[in-house]
Structure 1
Amino acid sequence: MHTFRTSLAFWGAAVALVMTYAASASPIPLYETWRSVDDLSYSDLSLSSVIYFVGAVSALLVFGRLSDYLGRKPVALLALLLAGVASVLFLFVHSAWPLLTARLLQGLACGLASTAMTAWIVDTTKAEHKALPALIISVSPLVGLSIGSLGGGSLINFAPYPRTLVFVVSLLLLAASMLVLLFGQESVHRKPGVRSSLKPVFGLPKEGRHWYPAAAIAFSCTWAVGGFYQAFGPTIAAGYLHSGTPVAAAIVFASFMLPSVLGSTLAARFSHQRALIIGMLVFMLAMIGVATSLHFGLLLPFLLCSACAGAAQGATMSGGIRSLMSGAQPHQRASTFSVIYATAYTGAAIPTLIVGRLTSHFSLLELVSGYAVLAVVGWMLVTLLNLRTRLTAAQQETAQV
């Protein structure tokens, strides 16, 4: 029976997921300020993104199944608490260490949210709304990142106390999300086995395993670019698009993240295979356009191509989630989302770490061109793997007949 508390849990978890990611993006518009005023280096900023991804992957691998044993609610509340502590630490950033510590806590928070909150959303979905969870789960992180960067950029640019108010607002929103979740209906009964749940396990339902290689490549390519925008969006705005304000940095970041909602919505009209292939094709063309626009310093074409790339990311994420969740039972949901997000975060962390080391040898334009090449290779591999998987499935059906 779907009660009011069940609906409260569903929508509360969805909003809390958005708020957790919004809090993680709120400091991004301040990156250029910290670099110019507090002498943080490009390597520090790049490392902060890597630390964030490491925290998220660690939470996914170690604590990914924790909500299956403790319950969705306590793990979701812990995620919000960690995000709140991180917001407090940002108030004291005048060197690299507070920034790195806060970003680590934000990564842990997002990793926990990506399993407990997403599984809670699936658990409390009405039977007639089966397609809704994949849409919400695929767009919530990206919508949250967009809200956090744009809201943070606006507060930093136009409101008083530019290095303080944005984090106070984040704290208030996180506290409100915790209050709503406290009254939501728990969907999992606590059971023994918490210690064994901390052992990293990569688990996918049998029906979704053969789609993993193509989905993993798509996740890695698109999230790698998201990591680049996160670390260097403010620098791109200041150095190539001739606008160094926090709100300009937020717009550059959001131009990639926010259109993912449109991409995920459109992807729902296609099969998960077509969503992956078409999404990667659009992503490849858009990244070529991003590199070209930066070369000529064209703001409007850059934002347009970034938006297309972001929409493509949303499409590939939605298609990938649908393919990997095929046949997932309730007890498999948290571990499946752990695999999905661990793959995406790892795909973002490794290129960002490498790029951070290369900033002293190559210009950002050259690095963006490298991401365009990555998109080309990714599209080719996803297309070939998709074709091979479909041929294998057809051969198996013929053999059974």
Structure 2
Amino acid sequence: MKRSTTNDRASALERAGTGWTLAAATYVFAIVMIGTTLPTPLYPRYQAEFGFGNTQTTMLFSIYAGAVIAALVFFGRLSEAWGRKPLLAAGVLVSLISAGLFMLGDQLGLLYAGRVFSGIAAGIFTATGTVAVLENAPPGRRRLATSLATAANIGGLGLGNLMSGTVAEAFPRPLFTPFLIHAVLLLVAGAALLGVRESALSRSRSLRLQLPAIPPESRAVFLRAVPGAVASFAIAGLYSAVAPSFMQQTLDIGSAAVIGAVVFALFGASAACQLLFQGLADRTLVLCGGIIQVACMVSLSIALLADSTLLLVVSAILGGAGQGFLFTTGMRAITAVTEVRNRTAVTTSYFILAYLAMSAPIIGVGVLALVIGLVASTISFAVMTVLVAGLTLLGVGRWSSQRRGVAG
């Protein structure tokens, strides 16, 4: 027994991360997530290039969200059976294929294919990237790793917008160059992946799907978290898919750099709030998040009616802050009450719900815009989101009022 314990400890030490492995895992995660939002500031240019309207833009975004959901289901458990690194390598490769398709994107079909591949890459890393970052942390640095995983995920989404918009304005071939730069960064990520330590123990080669499930012990908390998750990701979807169009058509903003910066403000605020306020009590976070979401939709509606770019930026920051407060609080509360063997399934369910909320309402906004116009359809979306946020506020009393620390 003593020899077995010694071997277990030696094995654990062999798998222990270092500062370098943590940095490598974080970099790979961030670079793949950057690629998922590169097209957002370029949507007005694609509309001019291919002659399609707002509905087509929302479909391009929604097919990405659908691919994320499919990847969560098909690849959610694979890293436990095949190992983290093989699956992360597959995600980098799929992201590289996506970049190549966008670089070749002289046909609308290539854009759709590129969005599908970027969604698959995002789904792989949503299921595996966070775990890889946490498991590559040095002993005693789990809190740092949690913060870095958040920054790589949400921050990567924001940086994709910022990088794409800036590059499109500063360099020739704006529909080609951002993806070329991303392809180079992905090649570096492939090299960095060699330094990421493998920590998954099983090698069963199982092909079981990660079907969504809500175990009995989690159902009450899961249902409590649903309104916040739905509203948060619906707002993120609106800014990712529709905001570029109404910035160009309503506010007369054609600069890809400005569009990218506005969408970056949402994801940057989300990441910052997740990092800065994670120690507050759940009830406080949910109350603040619900109020902020209502303020976000009110300021967005006024921005559209008054043609105010400043209010649009304020709305984006508020939307990101609301997401940062609500989505992470829900995830943390759900995993806290879920047995370890059920956590992958319930986490997958939570993300599937989030991406459905991100895509389905946005399709509705695009279709409704054909009938009543983009401003009116967006304000209708805002009203519905306020109602959902109201459900969040009604349930505040059922959340814990105790502060939650983060283990070091």
Rounded Cα–Cα distance in structure 1 between residues aligned with 2:14 and 2:26: 17
Contact 2:17 2:136 in 1 (8 A): no
Residue 52 of structure 1 and its aligned partner are, at CA, apart by 0.2
- 1: CA distance, partners of 2:383 / 2:173: 42
Q: What is the root-mean-square deviation in Å for CA atoms of aligned residues?
A: 2.4
SS in 1 for 2:140: helix
Instruction: Quote the residue 1:265 is aligned against.
Output: 275
Amino acid at match of 1:358: L
Q: Which digits, 9 at most, give the CA deviation of each residue in 1:351-381, with x for residues without a partner?
A: 1222222120122222222232233222221
Q: How does 1:33-112 map to 2 (within 5 A)?
A: 33-112=45-124
Give the letter aligned to residue 182 of structure 2.
Answer: S
Whole-Å separation in 1 of the counterparts to 2:102 and 2:46: 11
The Cα shift of 1:4 comes to 7.5
Partner residue, 2:395: 385
Match of 1:160 among 164, 172, 178: 172
Cα gap change, 1:328 to 1:111, in 2 (>3 Å) = same
Contact 2:283/2:399 (8 A) holds in 1: no
Identity of aligned residues (%): 21
Give the direction of change, closer, same or farther, for the CA distance of 1:336–1:17 in structure 2 (3 Å limit): farther
Per-residue displacement from partner, 1:306-348 (whole Å, max 9, x unpaired)?
2122111112122122112215666555434322321211111
Between 377-386 and 301-310, report the one with greater CA deviation.
377-386
The CA distance in 2 between the partners of 1:18 and 1:330, in whole Å, is: 26
Cα distance between partner residues in 2 of 1:171 and 1:268: 34
Matches within 5 A, 1:272-351: 272-326=282-336, 332-351=342-361
Task: Find the aligned partners of 2:81 and 2:41 in 1 and give their Cα distance.
Answer: 38
Aligned match of 1:149: 161
Deviation at 1:146, TM superposition (A): 1.4
**One-letter identity of the residue aligned with 1:200:** L
Q: Is the 8 A contact 1:9 1:120 kept in 2?
A: no
**Residue 235 of structure 1, CA deviation:** 1.3
Equivalences for 1:367-382 in 2 at 5 Å? 367-382=377-392
CA distance in 2, matches of 1:132, 1:373: 38
How far apart are the structure 1 equivalents of 2:381 and 2:141?
37
Q: How does 1:160-239 map to 2 (within 5 A)?
A: 160-192=172-204, 194-195=206-207, 197-198=208-209, 200-202=211-213, 206=217, 208-239=218-249
Distance 1:199 1:335 in 2: 6
Structure 2 gap ranges (5+) = 1-12, 402-408
- 1:257 corresponds to which letter in structure 2? F
User: In 1, Cα distance between the equivalents of 2:102 and 2:205?
Assistant: 36
Residue correspondences, number: 389
Q: Distance in 2 between matches of 1:329 and 1:9?
A: 29
The 3 A distance-change label for structure 1 pair 169 and 20 is: same
Paired residue for 1:122, among 134, 144, 150?
Answer: 134
Check the 8 A contact 1:134/1:321 in 2, yes or no.
Answer: no
For 1:2 and 1:362, locate their aligned partners in 2 and report how far apart those are by CA, in whole Å.
Answer: 62
Decide whether aligned partners of structure 1 residues 2 and 219 sit closer, same or farther in structure 2, where only a CA change above 3 A counts: farther
SS state of the match for residue 336, structure 2?
Answer: coil
* Segment of structure 1 superposing worse, 330-339 or 261-270: 330-339
Aligned partner of 1:21: which letter?
A: M
Contact 1:35/1:41 (8 A) holds in 2: yes
Query: How has the CA–CA distance of structure 1 residues 199 and 152 changed in structure 2, closer, same or farther, with 3 Å as cutoff?
Result: closer
CA pair 183-262 structure 1, distance change in 2 beyond 3 A: closer
CA, structure 1 residues 325+78, in 2 after alignment: closer, same or farther (shift >3 Å)? Answer: same
Asked whether the 8 Å contact 1:52–1:106 carries over to 2, the reply is: yes
| Greater shift in the superposed pair: 294-303 or 117-126 | 117-126
Correspondence 1:250 to 2:260: yes
The match for 1:356 is: 366
| Secondary structure of 1:325's aligned partner | helix
Verify the 8 A CA contact 1:8 1:180 in the aligned structure 2: no
